Amino acid sequence: MSLFGVQEKIESLRKAISEHNYQYYVLAQPLISDYEFDMLLQELIQLEAKHPEYFDANSPTQKVGGTVNKNFESFTHEYPMLSLGNTYNEEDLRDFDQRVEKQLGHHDYEYVCELKVDGLSISLHYENGNLLRAVTRGDGVKGDVVTDNVKTIRALNPQLKGAFPSSFEVRGEIFMHRPAFDKLNQERADSDEPLYANPRNVAAGTLKLQDSAEVAKRPLDIVLYQLIENTPSVKTHFEGLNKLKQWGLVVSNETKICPTIDAVFNYINEWDEKRKLLSYDIDGVVIKVNDYSQREELGFTAKSPRWAISYKFKTEAALTKLLSIDYQVGRTGAITPVANLEPVFLLGTTVKRASLHNANEIERLDVRVGDFVFVEKGGEIIPKITGVNFSKRQMDLPQNQYITHCPDCHTELIRKEGEAQHYCPNESNCPTQVIGKIQHFIHRKALDINSLGDETVELLYMQGLIHGLGDLFTLKYEQVIALERMAEKSALNLLEGINAAKSIPFPRVLFGLGIRYVGETVAKKLAKHFKTIDALMLANKEELLQVDEIGERIADSIIEYFSKDKNIDLIAQLKQAGLQLANLHEEQLLSEKLKGKAIVISGVFTQFSRDEIKHLVEQHGGKNVSSISSKTDYVVAGDNMGPAKLEKAVSLKIPILSETDFITLIQNEIS
């Protein structure tokens, strides 16, 4: 065969194999047997091995992997991968539908229902028809680049078909089928290796393997559920899914348009039964508003879109015996009772422990040591006890007596009025609390000190080298190197990591302090509003309540935190150490023309996106608010503004600005 003939044969095989992948994975209509497919692939592998000059990174043969990544590169998502709100009952889902209707102001909308595959989320970036980058969800803002590993998934065509955009992003779920998982576990059992717990864990662990050749040995699959374009070429979510399918990408054939909430429930009920027939695990249904312009009208909360929700199927329950109850102390001092159980197999894992939440829950369930109890996973990491089989109870089982003193430091517990949990008030000297606070402080969303792990924090505390957050910055090399199993390089890396934390921005330092109810988002809002830790420390309750999304509970917690001398001393320590306790690099305002103004943005715009207009509001000193009230100063209205919002703005006599009016306003040409 001539060289030209060889090249032609290789290209022909690549094209044929890609087409068969498309027929098998996308259309679910295989044209040849698995054996015939394997013979084609083997022929291509042999030809490419003999003729390396025709190497192509996008060849189907490259799915065998071979690239080794010692460290995965981090990548910031252009659009954050937000989590969805969850619901487990019909009432909550109908409430969601009513909120959608109220915000849009009409009934003219429809939903798309999708099976919620129990896998791990992935973001794929395509350039000119080729897979450029695959990124894990990570923390929703940043993920790990795992492109080489994802390329080993046979269902993912290396090159697209038809007319597609030059650049786009698509999101989906990577998972493993049950038969493949069972086969993998059987191989491990035959080799006397520990068995894997469930398919999702295997898929997640596989995607983070450093050698893509090892990844290729494990049969991962993928389903895609969201097309993202900077300039949308379609008007609805369902159109986007059809586009993906036309381009040769794998989407679920079970996705369906549901014109009403009742149709949504029909879909849910159908798949609650049929899920048992699937070869892969699903744990619910995702419900999304179909129309993109309506999605933009509905917007987002800090953590999730308002146009989508996840309905979780009721979990299976297992019956087992309650052996004992332990009490755990959290970093905030909260006491959590945890049940120790006779091991029981539930939804792919062996359950030995389950949460009992608090004293109220133990009393409500009337659960006693020795009872046979029902255990569910319920979408939680730690399973929970949901009931007692009273027919199996022994007559002489005593009622449970909730502990009165901290299991760690033996301080008497307190229980604040209106709260369900007991607390240990000894926050300065209770070892678990102190260690937990320091571990939170070094967390990647706070100071991100990678070289200082949780075990090292505990060791430093137990050796008396640190007693609180501020002591980290006074550690000396001689102290660290003397720790058990601490090598010179590790000691230097630890101290270097602590020193590098001094450049971490103020919002993350504030989050790291561990003030009760001040999470990552609240910390950002407080830092932006008050700008310095000193201003925040001096703020009264009224001033705190003026900050967007700060309610009385958060305000009271902040005031209580800064009323304690030990916390004031800690701030002084952190200042002395050189941590960032002010927004030094805050974006400069373009003007203060909107200072003190509360503005609602609604509708679809032509010159700017909704996010760009919100950014302009902030750049000119204004505050974006989500709902119209008597405190709203302006409504900036685009096309398709919800009638209910418009009616409310008119009734409250709030000025309504067009996009052009708004631009004129910030240019100070109208009052």
pLDDT per residue over 279-336, tens digit each?
898 989 999 999 999 998 998 876 789 999 999 887 777 899 999 999 999 888 989 9
Q: Find residue 236's DSSP bridge partners.
A: 291
Assigned domain for 75 exists: no
Same domain, 184 and 304: yes
Burial call 55-77: b when 16+ CB within 10 Å, e when fewer: eeeebbbbbebeeebeebeebeb
* Beta-strand relationship, 634-637 and 598-602: parallel
Question: If 0-12 CB within 10 Å is exposed, 13-18 middle and 19+ buried, where does residue 430 land?
Answer: buried
568 lies in the same domain as 619: no
CATH number at residue 630: 3.40.50.10190
Q: Does residue 537 share a domain with residue 491?
A: no
Q: Which residue has the higher pLDDT, 268 or 21?
A: 268
For range 331-351, the mean pLDDT? 86
CB atoms within 10 A of CB 656: 17
Backbone angles phi, psi at 334, to 5 degrees: -65, 135
* % of the chain beyond a pLDDT of 70: 91
Residue 74 — very low, low, confident or very high, per pLDDT cuts 50/70/90? confident
What integer pLDDT is reported at residue 210 of this predicted model? Answer: 76
Exposure of 49 in the CB half-sphere (CA atoms within 13 A): 7
- The single residue listed with the structure tokens 């290396």 is 158
Q: Is pLDDT above 50 for 65?
A: no
pLDDT at 2: 61
> Is there a contact between 175 and 117 (Cβ–Cβ < 8 Å)?
yes
Q: Is residue 78 part of a domain?
A: no
| Domain identity same for 244 and 383 | no
CA 279 – CA 469 distance, rounded (Å): 49
My answer on whether 497 and 510 are in the same domain is: no
Q: In the structure, what pLDDT confidence band is assigned to residue 12 with cuts at 50, 70 and 90?
A: confident
Q: Is residue 115 part of a domain?
A: yes
pLDDT on residue 379:
47
Same domain for 396 and 533, yes or no, is no
The token pair that represents 279 in the structure block? 């070869």
Q: How far is CA 167 from CA 75, 131, 160, 173, 241, in A?
A: 17, 10, 12, 20, 16
Query: For residue 406, is pLDDT > 90?
Result: yes
Query: Same structural domain for residues 49 and 165?
Result: no
Q: Which pLDDT belongs to residue 671?
A: 41
- What are the tens digits of pLDDT across the range 105-138? 888 999 999 999 989 999 999 999 889 999 998 8
612 shares its domain with 656? yes
Q: What whole-number distance in Å separates Cα of residue 335 and Cα of residue 357?
A: 9
Please report the pLDDT score of residue 532 as a whole number.
94
Looking up residue 269, the CATH number of its domain turns out to be 3.30.470.30
Output the six-digit token pair for 86: 């969850």
Mean local confidence (pLDDT), 564-568: 93
Least confident of 39-53, 56-70, 202-216, 414-428: 56-70
671 within 8 A of 661, measured Cβ to Cβ = no
Higher-scoring residue by pLDDT: 149, 51? 149
Final residue of a structural domain among 250, 279, 312: 312
Position of tokens 């993906």? 244
Are the CB atoms for 550 and 522 separated by under 8 Å?
yes
Report, as an integer, the average pLDDT of 432-448. 91
Q: What percent of the chain has pLDDT over 90?
A: 46
Regarding whether 211 and 141 lie in a shared domain, the answer is yes
Assigned domain for 499 exists: yes
118 and 183 housed in the same domain? yes
Beta carbons within 10 angstroms of residue 348's beta carbon? 16
Q: What is the pLDDT of residue 97?
A: 96
| pLDDT given at position 383 | 83
Please give the mean pLDDT across all residues of the chain. Answer: 86
Q: Can you give the residue range of the structural domain that contains 491?
A: 431-503
**pLDDT tens for each residue of 457-482:** 999 999 999 999 999 999 999 999 99
Same domain? For 492 and 511 the reply is no
564: annotated active-site residue: no
DSSP secondary-structure letter at 313? Answer: P
Which of 503, 537, 563 is at the close of a domain? Answer: 503
- The domain total for the chain is 6
| Cβ pair 139, 74 in contact under 8 A | no
On the question of pLDDT at 253 being above 80, the answer is yes
Instruction: Say which CATH number the domain at 48 has.
Output: 1.10.287.610
Confidence of residue 17 (pLDDT cuts 50, 70, 90): confident
348-352, 355-359, 418-422, 436-440: least confident range: 348-352
- Going across the sheet that includes 120-127, the strands are 130-136, 120-127, 167-176, 220-228
CATH number for position 515:
1.10.150.20
Residue 24 has pLDDT above 70, yes or no: no
Over residues 183-210, the mean pLDDT reads: 76
Q: Is residue 582 part of a domain?
A: no
pLDDT at 528 over 60: yes
Do the beta carbons of residue 384 and residue 378 sit within 8 Å?
yes
- 167 shares a domain with 135: yes
- Residue 27 binned pLDDT confidence (cut-offs 50, 70, 90): low
User: For helices 659-666 and 610-619, what crossing angle results, to 10°?
Assistant: 20
Phi, psi of 607 (to 5 degrees): -80, -35
If one counts every other C-beta atom within 10 angstroms of the C-beta of residue 280, the result is: 21
3-state helix, strand, coil in the chain (%, to 5): 40, 20, 40
Give the sign of the dihedral formed by CA 240, CA 245, CA 250, CA 256: positive
Residues 6+ apart with CB under 8 A from 428: 434, 468, 566
Instruction: Provide mean pLDDT across the span 340-368.
Output: 87
Q: Which of 15, 50, 70, 116 is catalytic?
A: 116
What does the alpha-carbon distance between residue 486 and residue 482 come to, in Å, rounded to a whole number? Answer: 7
Q: Determine the pLDDT at residue 236.
A: 96
Q: What's the rounded mean pLDDT across residues 364-383?
A: 82
Highest mean pLDDT among 151-165, 388-402, 545-559, 634-648: 388-402
Please spell the DSSP secondary structure of 319-380, one letter per residue: EEEEEEEEEEE-TT-BEEEEEEEEEEEETTEEEEEEE--SHHHHHHHT--TT-EEEEE-TT-
* 671 within some domain: no
Please say which residue of 503, 522, 543 terminates a domain.
503
User: What confidence score (pLDDT) does residue 35 get?
Assistant: 62
Does 72 fall in a domain?
no
Please, what is the Cα angle at 256 between 253 and 260, to 5 degrees? 170
Q: Does residue 77 belong to any structural domain of this protein?
A: no
